């Protein structure tokens, strides 16, 4: 198939992406509190291989929930971003940070319970600390501070991770959000946390940075579904709070739909994520075992997406885009979806 759409540039807010191939966020490189040289080299390598946009792995905005030793709320982060951008900017790849808070899934920095929407146990077996009004406001401000730091460090955008069962999605969830105050109950209350986070970010950075949100339907009975995600997306767009939507699928209830392995075919997320994204007028980014630019081109031409995530495919071969563009698609080292990126203690693909 002639590859046409996949190499077309696309404007996302103030940022011109050089092509339609995105490496959506993946963690696994963040084992040190500071950005290591390895971390920086990894991203710059994806840029040299032709990736259009990389979204840095989820990292915490506030010490009340930690995913890795690495976080976004410390003073040195701006220097770290500048080092990263010095290495990756010359490649032409654009870079967003993913702003994350794990709520009831991951503990606080001191090992205590993570701050969460409620005290309903999370899927990692932890009872979070139900947030007070003051705690909610503190975390909202933390998101905005992290966006300001991303701008100071020269990044092109930020993404609020409101999928996969993390704090913003816990607020959205009819199952986890049992609050009776202004943050719980009907969807117009459950959405308030995400709205306030995005309002605070937009107020802090204006239109200088691209703002993305990652959404997903849960596969858990009682979790947030496709129809409510569509309403969320419409509400965010109505206020001009987002420049792009990145729709994934699933949460910790079903890891096998969140990061589908060999049993899932190419595009397995699209029946769910494409339906959510269909109500958007901002650029739509979809994921789900895309391994070749031919497959990506087909999805783009179908009109269901404007951008395609290729995460594990670019772990397997960082030169996927450039090799294919040069007519050497058969030389690409293919991703088989084995989900063994941490073998041998170092992040990578295979043995
Ligand atoms: C090791 C690993 C870590 C991930 N970490 C994140 C993350 O930090 N934030 C996020 O939104 N998605 C994360 N994901 C999900 C990916 O962004 C993507 O949605 C998923 O891998 C499916 O795309 P693919 O089939 O192209 O790999 C992760 C995936 C992998 C494999």
Strand, helix or coil for residue 91: helix
The yes-or-no verdict on residue 214 having pLDDT over 80 is yes
- Pocket-forming residues, ligand 1, beta carbon under 6 Å: 24-28, 57-58, 98, 161, 214, 248, 259, 287-290, 309-313, 341
Query: From ligand 1's centre to the CA of 173, what distance in Å?
Result: 21
Domain boundaries, the chain: 5-345
What percent of the chain is predicted at pLDDT more than 70? 99
Rounded-to-integer distance, Cα 95 and Cα 20, Å: 14
Q: What is the pLDDT of residue 351?
A: 60
CA of 142 to the centre of ligand 1 (A): 24
Q: What is the DSSP letter of 58?
A: P
What's the pLDDT at 46? 97
Give, for ligand 1, the residue of 20, 21, 26, 212 to mutate: max count of ligand atoms closer than 8 Å to Cβ: 26
Among 22, 23, 27, which is best to mutate for testing ligand 1, by the most ligand atoms less than 8 A from CB? Answer: 27
Torsion of CA 36, 42, 44, 46, to 10 degrees: -160
Helix/strand/coil for 71: strand
User: What is the maximum span of the chain, computed from C-alpha positions, in angstroms?
Assistant: 58
Q: How does residue 1 score in pLDDT terms, banded at 50, 70 and 90?
A: confident
- Hey, which of 259, 262, 270 would you mutate to test ligand 1's pocket, going by the most ligand atoms within 8 Å of its Cβ? 259
Q: Give the per-residue pLDDT at 312.
A: 96
Contact 125, 176 (CB under 8 A): no
Tens-place pLDDT, residues 46-105: 999 999 999 999 999 999 999 999 999 998 999 999 999 999 999 999 999 999 999 999
Q: Give Cα 317 distance to the centre of its chain.
A: 21
d(CA 40, CA 50): 16
**What's the topology of domain 5-345?**
TIM Barrel (3.20.20)
Over residues 291-335, the pLDDT tens digits come to 999 999 999 999 999 999 999 999 999 999 999 999 999 999 999
Whether pTM exceeds 0.75 = yes
- Amino acid 342: pLDDT: 73
Q: CB of 81 within 8 A of CB of 123?
A: no
- Give me the DSSP letters along 169-210: HHHH-TTT----STTSSSHHHHTHHHHHHHHHHHHHHTTSSE
Residue 31 is predicted with a pLDDT of 87
């Amino acid at each position: 198939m002639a590859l046409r759409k996949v190499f077309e540039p696309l404007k996302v807010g103030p940022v011109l992406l050089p092509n339609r191939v995105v490496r959506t966020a993946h963690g696994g490189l963040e084992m040190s509190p500071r950005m290591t040289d390895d971390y920086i080299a990894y991203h710059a390598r994806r840029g040299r291989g032709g990736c259009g946009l990389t979204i840095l792995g989820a990292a915490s905005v506030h010490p009340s929930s930690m995913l890795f030793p690495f976080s976004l709320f410390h003073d040195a982060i701006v220097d770290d971003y500048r080092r990263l951008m010095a290495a990756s900017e010359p490649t032409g790849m654009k870079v967003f940070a993913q702003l994350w808070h794990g709520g009831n899934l991951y503990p606080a920095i001191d090992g205590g319970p993570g701050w969460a929407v409620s005290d309903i146990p999370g899927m990692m077996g932890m009872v979070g600390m139900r947030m007070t009004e003051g705690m909610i406001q503190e975390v909202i401000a933390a998101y905005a501070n992290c966006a300001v730091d991303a701008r100071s460090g020269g990044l092109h955008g930020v993404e609020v991770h409101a999928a996969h069962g993390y704090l913003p999605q816990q607020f959205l969830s009819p199952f986890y959000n049992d609050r009776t105050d202004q943050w719980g109950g009907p969807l117009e209350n459950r959405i308030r946390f995400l709205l306030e986070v995005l309002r605070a970010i937009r107020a802090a950075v204006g239109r200088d940075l691209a703002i993305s949100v990652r959404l997903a339907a849960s596969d858990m009975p009682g979790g947030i579904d496709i129809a409510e995600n569509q309403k969320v997306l419409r509400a965010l767009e109505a206020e001009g709070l987002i420049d792009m939507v990145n729709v994934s699928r699933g949460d910790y209830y079903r890891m096998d739909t969140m990061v589908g392995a060999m049993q899932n075919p190419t595009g397995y997320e699209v029946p769910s994520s494409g339906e959510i994204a269909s109500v958007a007028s901002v650029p739509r980014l979809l994921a789900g075992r895309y391994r070749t630019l031919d497959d990506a081109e087909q999805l783009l031409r179908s009109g269901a997406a404007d951008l395609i995530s290729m995460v594990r495919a670019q772990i397997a071969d960082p030169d996927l885009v450039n090799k294919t563009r040069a007519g050497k698609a058969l030389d690409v080292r293919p991703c088989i979806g084995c989900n063994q990126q941490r073998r041998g203690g170092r992040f990578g693909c295979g043995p």
